[in-house]
Every structure is written in structure tokens, then in C-alpha cells.
Chains A and B, each alone.
Chain A
Amino acid sequence: MTSLKLYPAKPDKVYFFGTCLIDMFYPEAGLDAIRLLEREGIEVLFPDDQTCCGQPAYTSGYHDETRAVAEAQLDLFPEPWPIIVPSGSCGGMMRTHYPPLFAGTSREEQARQVAERIFELTEFLVHVCHVRLADKGDAQRVAMHTSCSARREMGLADTGPALLDQLESVTLVEQARAAECCGFGGTFAVRHPEVSAAMVEDKTQAIEAAGAEHFVTSDCGCLMNIAGRFEHQKRPVRGEHIASYLWRRTS
């Protein structure tokens, strides 16, 4: 069960953990997230030595390797600032799984303290920054895919849609079975490719059937999966990380 989270007042500074997928495949989304935070008057600290939260190895069962990688991240956030993660999946890993991963080790307390300071980006923008967005874009019908980790592990089904709701010219459409997994699941997509494909096919069909011209998500795993399927099928719907979408329409 997700524990009740008490949101702090808006801080002067935050740490930003960009995630490995964003670093390598969607860097603009990371930069846009930083810009959104900076616009709220927050100084964003980006620890240069960050690499990966460890989740791919964790869900594959390689917990010794995960612990080594996670341990290397723990020292990156020495000050008590919140740690913003533009991904429900990596955020969920760090918030939910770090403490048990280090249980009984000398890092236990540090892991717990880091976990408590983890905030997913949309969560932080809504609940801590109380952000107000002024839409400058054209009318568009958009679907939001909230990742399963954001929705279930972090309990954040509403924060992405709440941000999109603030965009005046955007119509947020809801696809059928919006809460259903897109089929990514990290190594699941590789270990069970056909099942994963059936899931993403249904997801793309649902997004199209809802009349969406565009979709956004707060997780780059889902983005890679859903957008990759649309593109493979030569469908016109395109997707992007919610940070990029918000920044593009409000800057």
C-alpha cells in the first residue's frame, strides 16, 4: 500500500534525476522538465554522476547488480532537497523498492531518506508547485497514458490529466480501458514479445478510437512502446513526454 504522502512547501532547490531512457533517447523531455521547474522559481540541481535507477535489473531478478547500481545513486543527493523524477516507473523504483532493497545493510537509513524525497514530475508540479499553466497552443485532442507505475505504485492517476486540463485549447479524450497496461513492462516486451505486441496494439487502437490526434505520457518506456507501434503501423498519431508537451504549449 502506498503510504500517505505529506507534500512540502515549494522548496528553493530540487534535485533532478533524469533517468537513463531520457538521457539516451528523449533528452529534450528531460530538459523541458527542468525548464518547467525553473519557471516555478526553483533551482534545479542535476547530479552529473547519475546513471540508472536500477529497475531493469530489479524486475529481471538480478538484485545484487541492482543494489550496486542503486547504491551509486544514493550518494548523489546529499542535501535534503526533493528529488524530481520525470518517470513514474523510475520514481516508483526509487520510492518503493529502494528501502527493502537495502534492508539490513548499512545503507538502509540512507535509502529510506532518499525514497521519502522522491517525487514524480507531474506530482510535484501539481501538489508542490501548484503550477498554473497558460496555454499558447492550437486546439488539439490529446489522450494521456498514465504508466502503471505512476498509477498504481505511486498512486498518481490524476496528476497528468490535471495538468492537461489546465491547457485551454486542449481537449483531453479518454481512451477505452485507459488504466490498462500498454504492454511495455521493461524486459517483458522482450521476453514475451507477442503478448506485449497484442497489448500495445490494443492500446494504440483505443487511443485512435478515442479521436486523439496526439498522446502524452509521463513515462518514456510507455512512450517508446506506444509511439513505436503507431509509427510501425504508419498511423498519424504521435506521442511525447508530458513535460515536452507542457513546455511546448506554454513557453
Chain B
Amino acid sequence: MSVQTYTPQAFHRQAHDALGNPQIRANFRQAMDGLMTKRRDSFGDWDVEALRDLGASIRLRALAKLPDLLEQLEANCQANGIQVHWAQDGDEACRLIRELCEARDAKRVIKGKSMVSEEMHLNAHLEEAGIEALESDLGEYLVQLNEQTPSHIIMPAIHLNTDEISDLMHAKTGTDKTRDVDYLTAAARQQLRERFMNADVGVSGVNFAVAETGTLCLVENEGNGRMTTTVPPVHIAVTGIEKVVEHLHDVPPLYALLTRSATGQHVTTYFNMISGPRKPEEHDGPREVHLVLVDNGRSSIYQDDELLDTLRCIRCGACMNHCPVYTRVGGHTYGTTYPGPIGSILMPHLQGLEATQDLPSASSLCGACGEVCPVRIPIPDLLVRLRKEAVGEGRGNVEGAGVKRNRKEVLAWKGWQWLATHPGAWRASTSVAGKFRALTPSKLGPWTQYRTAPKPASTPLHVLVKRHRQVNRQEGES
């Protein structure tokens, strides 16, 4: 299979291709249907709305205190022996990690799942420097073998079905062609085991960074996270600055929401709490633990009291699982690290609106994402806010603001505004449209490619109401 590059600029073409690919359509539909059912069933008789309120309040509190909590996190991590590094953007974070590797003469990096590392293209950066970076999360491993990027933030290889995975592993690793999932998983596990033993550095993400204790929490199912963070002599955790929470007791509600929202699990197979390197009396664990805190546009989002809500995200993926657009076009179509609704409200800040202008509009604003978000991010409102920025009627503080403003469209909306604020003219125009309904074009651009064109009624409502009033009056008089 050849390497395919997806970009947000090519959203329309990529959507067209995905929609015409029955395999992609079926893989996503089936997977998303399953995930939606699992999520729904997993909350049982819990009061999910109350739990979402709690989740939202924990995240909002953490964000309200973000600068202080980050300092507290740094101090407590350092007290635990975790070395803390700050990176302004993805490039700086990549450079930091590369330098940490080079200083230790590390040539082999094993990676746990980390979307931030995808965001900053860490693997490519390390490989350019002659350092091998191998993904150890099964989905990430498959995607890497396939020379692709993740199509989902929780299930990176969800776009592939068993047959495709079997073919891929056969081609790249020589396993048998089979639909036996247990065989394929065991084979991948075997292939990875050796690599864990020989890795010089383990790089992982972080789900929650607890400020009051300096603890890094890592949620996972495969044990690769624990291997990544304990087997190699050096562990580097990398995360966005928004992942901090204030208290240790903030973690259980968020964890309960995260696993249920993401995969419908009550708990994951592994929940790691990393609180420092190996102590002198201990026999295992890494000798060094580093934490790289990446800003990469987040502090700019933080400055805006509406956009700030974007940073509440705990990366569960429920918004994409429930999105009717994502379900149909899949994750790669978005051409961004984070696809689906959360990607459409986050990526404009990371890549600017010029590149990502088609993402905020790629939603029917059906509200399914907002309805399931475990921390109540008002995703539809934020999509509208970004549309407003794109057409130049927002606050102008998102890079590329105004990029979609064009004279023709502004003129159309100004015309509509004039008509809708001049009721006499409005009434006249609907009446005229009704009179000439026979002339209504049967082809209305893209609409009529798939549907018949609506025809204006011969008599608009305001005229029907006038007649109706007369009838009522006559009846009242007689």
C-alpha cells in the first residue's frame, strides 16, 4: 500500500473518496454503532447527566487555575524526581525529546499511545535524526506498519477491518493470513515484546497530570503503556498543558467518564499512576522520568473565554463516535491529527483557519457531539463561533480569521437581511415566488443532485392567514 497524505485543505475530495469506498463506510458504521451502544449501556443506572456536570466542573476548575496548577505540578513532579520540560510548540517539544535521546545515545524509542506526539509529528522528527520510534499500542502499531496516521484518537486503526489487518501483517511481518484475531494479536504482541526489551527510551502520553501530588495517570488496555513506562531505562511523558487536574480525587470521576464515553468500559485493563523514577531500593522501573509539557497553541486558546472550553477535552472520542459526518467519512478525511467534532474545534487553533476552513462547516450542527461530551464542551456553539471567525464577524483572534469572507456571500446575506427587515418587501417577494412557481428551476446546484427541488407554494402563509381571519370573522358575525 502506498503512503497517502491527507490534508484539511482537501476535505471535500477526501470526503468524496471515503463516501465512495464501501469498505471504509462499512468499517466506520459498524464500529461507531458498536461504540455508541457500548457507551449507552455502560452508564447503567448511573445519573450520567450529574456525572457529566461533575466532569465539566472539575475541568473548568482546573482551567480556571491553570497557570497556578502547572507551577504546582512542576514543583511536585520535581519533588518526586520527575524532570519537567516546557515546550512552546511541537517543534520545540520534538527537539527536547530528541536531545534527551541523543544525550543518552538512545537509538531505539518505544512509544505508548500519545496523540500529542502525533500532533507534533514526533516519529518523523526522531527518524530524521536516526532514532527509531516504534509504536506499541496495537492500533498505532498497525497504522505505523501501514504508513498511515490514526483515523480515530482512541482506536487509531478503526478504519481497517480484520481482513485488511491480516493482509497488512502478512505483508509487513510475515504472519499467516487469517481472520483469527487472537492469532494476529498474539503475533503482534510477540513482535513488540522483543522491542520493549531492547528500547533505550519509552515515550508515553498522559491522561491526567495531578498537580497536588505530581502524579502522571495513564489509561490503557494493552499493557503496552506500562511496558513503555517501566521497561526502558528512560521514560519521557509528553502532554498538552491542559491535561492537568488539581486534586487526586478529581481523577476517579474523570476516569469513570473517560472509559465509559470512549469504549463503554467500566474500567480499563491498566490504570498507571506514575510518580517518579526507580528509587534506590527498588529493582525495576526507569532510572529517569521526564515530563514534557507542550503548549502548541493552547495558551492562545486559553485567552478567549469562549474558546477556552475546547481545552476541557479529556480525549475520549465520544464526539466522533456519535458524529453522523465522521461515521460516514471516517477520520482520515479530516486530514488532521484530531478528526471529528473535537478536531474541527481544535485544529483551527493549531493550523489556522486558512488550512482548516472546511472543518467547522463540516457539521449539520445536529448536536450529537455536545450531547455525549463527558465534560459538556459546547461543541456546536464552538463550531458556530469558528464559522463566525472564518467569515470575519468574530473577535478576530483565531489565525486566519476572515479567510472565508467573500464579497458575493456577504452581499447575499446583506440582501437577505434587508428583505427580512422590510416585511412588506418580504411578503411581496414570497407572493411573487409563489406566482411564478412554475418557473422555479428544477436544478438547484448540489441540492437537486440528490433531491427534488422544493417549489414555493402558490399562496404563502401570510396570505392564507389573512383569508382564514376573514372566514373566522364572518363566522363570528353570523
Interface residues of A (CB under 8 A from B): 1, 18, 20, 22-28, 30-31, 34, 38, 46, 48-52, 54, 56-65, 68-69, 71-72, 148-149, 151-153, 179-181, 183-201, 224-225, 228-229, 231-232
Contacts and interface: CB of A to CB of B under 8 A. Distances in A.
Given A25-B454, A152-B370, A65 B416 contact: yes
Contacts of B413: 57, 60, 62, 65
A200 B446 CA distance: 14
Interface stretch (B218-226, B280-288, B460-468): B460-468
Contact of B388 (A48, A63, A188): A63
A24 B430 contact: yes
B181 interface: no
Contact of B468 (A34, A69, A183, A190): A34
A152 B369 CA distance: 10
A195 B325 contact: yes
A188 B364 contact: yes
B251 interface: no
Contacts of A31: 461, 464-465, 468
A146 B393 CA distance: 32
Contacts of A194: 12, 15-16, 19, 446
Interface size bucket, B side?
Answer: 35 or more
B364 A183 contact: yes
Main secondary structure of the interface of A (DSSP, over half): helix
Given A61-B389, A68-B417, A180-B324, A231 B452 contact: yes
25 contacts: A18-B465, A27-B460, A30-B461, A30-B465, A46-B469, A61-B393, A62-B388, A62-B410, A65-B414, A68-B417, A72-B420, A148-B364, A152-B371, A180-B324, A181-B368, A192-B361, A193-B445, A193-B446, A193-B450, A195-B328, A197-B450, A199-B364, A201-B450, A224-B451, A232-B450
Nearest to B418: A68
4 closest Cβ contacts across the A-B interface?
Answer: A185-B364, A228-B451, A193-B446, A61-B387
Contacts of B469: 46
B329 interface: yes
B422 to A, nearest CB: 8
Interface in B335-384: 361-368, 370-371, 376, 384
Interface of B: 12, 15-16, 19, 324-325, 328-329, 361-368, 370-371, 376, 384, 386-391, 393-394, 404, 410, 413-414, 416-417, 419-421, 423, 426-427, 430, 433-434, 445-457, 459-465, 468-469, 472
Main secondary structure of the interface of B (DSSP, over half): helix
A61 B468 contact: no
B457 A57 contact: no
B393 A64 contact: yes
A231 B451 contact: yes
A232 B449 CA distance: 9
The residue among B328, B459, B472 with the most chain A CB atoms within 10 A of its own CB is: B328
B326 to A, nearest CB: 10
Given A57-B413, A65-B416, A188-B364, A181 B393 contact: no
B10 to A, nearest CB: 14
A180 B450 CA distance: 19
A27 B420 CA distance: 18
Contacts of A72: 420-421, 423
B302 to A, nearest CB: 21
Given A24-B433, A28-B464, A52-B420, A193 B324 contact: no
A195 B362 contact: yes
A193 B423 contact: no
B384 A59 contact: yes
A32 B305 CA distance: 44
Given A60-B413, A63-B393, A188-B363, A26 B457 contact: yes
Contacts of A151: 367
Contacts of A201: 450
Given A180-B324, A193-B447, A197-B449, A28 B457 contact: yes
A108 B270 CA distance: 51
Given A28-B457, A30-B465, A68-B421, 19 more contacts: A20-B420, A22-B461, A23-B460, A27-B461, A27-B463, A31-B461, A46-B469, A48-B423, A50-B462, A60-B413, A61-B387, A65-B416, A153-B367, A181-B324, A184-B364, A188-B365, A193-B450, A196-B364, A201-B450
